[in-house]
Amino acid sequence: MKSLPFRRVFRTSFLSFIFCLFWPYSGFSQETADGFLAQGVAFSKEGEHEKAIPSFKRALELDPTLEGVRLNLGIAYFKLQSFEEAAETFQQILERNPENSSALVFLGLSLQGQEQYEKSIPYFEKAGKLDPDFHQLALFNIGKAHSQLGNFEQSAEHWNKAIKADPGSELAEGAKALLKLQADKKPQKPWHLSFGAGFEYDDNITVDEQDLTTNLDDFSYIFEFSGAYKFLKTPKLELEAGYDFYQSLHDDLAAFDIQSHIFSLSGSHELGKFNLGLFNFYNRTTLGEKDFLEILSASPSVGYAVSEKWYATLTYAYKDTHFFDSPLRDAQNHGFSFGNFFFIMDGKGIIQLSYRFENEITTGEEFDYLGHYVNSQVKLPLGKKTKIILGHKYIFRDYKNVTVSIGEKRDDFRHTIEFGVAQTIYKNVFGKLDYQFIDSTSNLASSDYKENIASLTLGVSF
């Protein structure tokens, strides 16, 4: 009687061994496409889309024709904001079944996730026609696409149709909210103009480009004009041409009157999370009614939003400077800068911190230098109509060769403290008060000085 339990244990162990040996091929196997599909769906319901994707992929490997796998895989990608992979998956579904309305809707949403708004519209239109259940959703998203493209009449038309389709739905409430936001939002003009006039007091008239310090003070009248026209604007690409004019007229020292004309061309292009930019300008300046200098510059840049409150930029700048009366100072300048912009007070205030390195190569070797520039600035709102600006600039220029007049290499150190107030007086009319203190230290006497500059400007902008 004692041998009975042993026989039962042996028989149970043997049957378990046989079951394990043949389990992968048995009807109880979980290694099936249906099993992995069910597993993926379970992960998705729990919001674990990263875990769901391998299950859906394994299901496709086992049975590429299994219904519903690709749609669930595409939706998992979409939930993870992997819009490119999602769009590719939905395209595969539509290649097999061009009238799959769910795939059409999600493909449209995935394209909008990539900011390809114009491409998304036909997919929503087709889905809305094929499936009445998607009619309102399609109208809502077509309206969003047109709004992003700047087609505000079309967006309002589609949102109104979405409201009429089911007035009591959440989509209808969303369409009403977007219509109100769009109505409150002023359409951006492709151009802007600004005029300003005022006066300036300078207690030490200097011309940095010529290392000239007068130790004389003077008042001057200043006139400014700025204009720009944005001749191309899409959700990802912008191109703008601009012109800036500046004129100073001194009371006594007319030889230091400055007139400058700056022509600019700039562009930006969004590439994923990056913003690529290019700024080009040509500057021609006269000093005392005589041709003084001209500058040609090109600056490509890349920007990246590190977070909602931090934007960083990396810029290379090339500058070619020609002096009409001082050919030895003609120069080519290569600069690299790193900038940081921190948004505070709900985006109304900005803190800027930047560093720039320059290598200037001139015709006259004594003017060659390596430059280091550190800039910090804070812009803060003071009420609804007033902004204050506080800033500090530090410059160190390490000259490479001996300066003949002093018999040694030259070193320049400069601190500039800035304070400004901008006030909206009435609608487009504004006033600006600016003050600068410059403390320049150098072993070249003409570049060793202190200077105070104060200006008051009134202007109008459109």
Task: Give the per-residue pLDDT at 398.
Answer: 96
* Residue 359 tokens, joined: 């290598």
Using pLDDT thresholds of 50, 70 and 90, give the confidence band for residue 159: very high
Is 19 a residue whose pLDDT tops 50? Answer: no
Is 425 a residue whose pLDDT tops 70? Answer: yes
Lowest mean pLDDT among 322-326, 347-351, 359-363, 444-448: 347-351
What is the C-alpha to C-alpha distance for residues 444 and 194, in angstroms, rounded to an integer?
39
Q: What percent of the chain has pLDDT over 90?
A: 76
Averaged pLDDT for residues 368-395? 95
Task: Give the per-residue pLDDT at 185.
Answer: 67
Task: Give the per-residue pLDDT at 1.
Answer: 35
Residues 6+ apart with CB under 8 A from 257: 220, 247, 248, 249, 250, 286, 287, 288, 289
The long-range contacts involving 278-285, CB below 8 angstroms and separated by at least 24 positions, are: 284/260, 285/258, 285/259, 285/260, 285/261
pLDDT digits (tens, 9 = 90+) for 199-243: 999 999 999 999 999 999 999 999 999 999 999 988 789 999 999
Averaged pLDDT for residues 167-194? 85
pLDDT digits (tens, 9 = 90+) for 301-353: 999 999 889 999 999 999 999 999 999 999 999 999 999 999 998 778 999 99
Ramachandran quadrant class, 68 (left: phi over 0; alpha: psi -120 to 50; beta: rest)? left
pLDDT digits (tens, 9 = 90+) for 27-66: 333 478 888 988 989 998 898 999 989 999 998 889 888 8
Task: Give the per-residue pLDDT at 296.
Answer: 98
What is the C-alpha to C-alpha distance for residues 295 and 354, in angstroms, rounded to an integer?
23
Is 100 a residue whose pLDDT tops 60? Answer: yes
Helix, strand or coil, per DSSP, at residue 90: helix
Is 395 a residue whose pLDDT tops 60? Answer: yes
Using pLDDT thresholds of 50, 70 and 90, give the confidence band for residue 20: very low
Please give the mean pLDDT across all residues of the chain. 90
Task: Give the per-residue pLDDT at 236.
Answer: 82
* Residue 133 tokens, joined: 């259940």
Task: Give the per-residue pLDDT at 186.
Answer: 58
Task: Give the per-residue pLDDT at 16.
Answer: 34
Is 7 a residue whose pLDDT tops 80? Answer: no
Task: Give the per-residue pLDDT at 5.
Answer: 38
Using pLDDT thresholds of 50, 70 and 90, give the confidence band for residue 420: very high
Task: Give the per-residue pLDDT at 2.
Answer: 37
Q: What is 106-175 written as a DSSP string? A: HHHHHHHHTT-HHHHHHHHHHHHHH-GGGHHHHHHHHHHHHHHTT-HHHHHHHHHHHHHH-TTSHHHHHH
Task: Give the per-residue pLDDT at 187.
Answer: 63
State the amino acid at position 30 in one-letter form.
Answer: Q
Is 76 a residue whose pLDDT tops 50? Answer: yes
Residues 6+ apart with CB under 8 A from 448: 440, 441, 442
What is the C-alpha to C-alpha distance for residues 191 and 186, in angstroms, rounded to an integer?
14
Task: Give the per-residue pLDDT at 67.
Answer: 80
Is 269 a residue whose pLDDT tops 60? Answer: yes
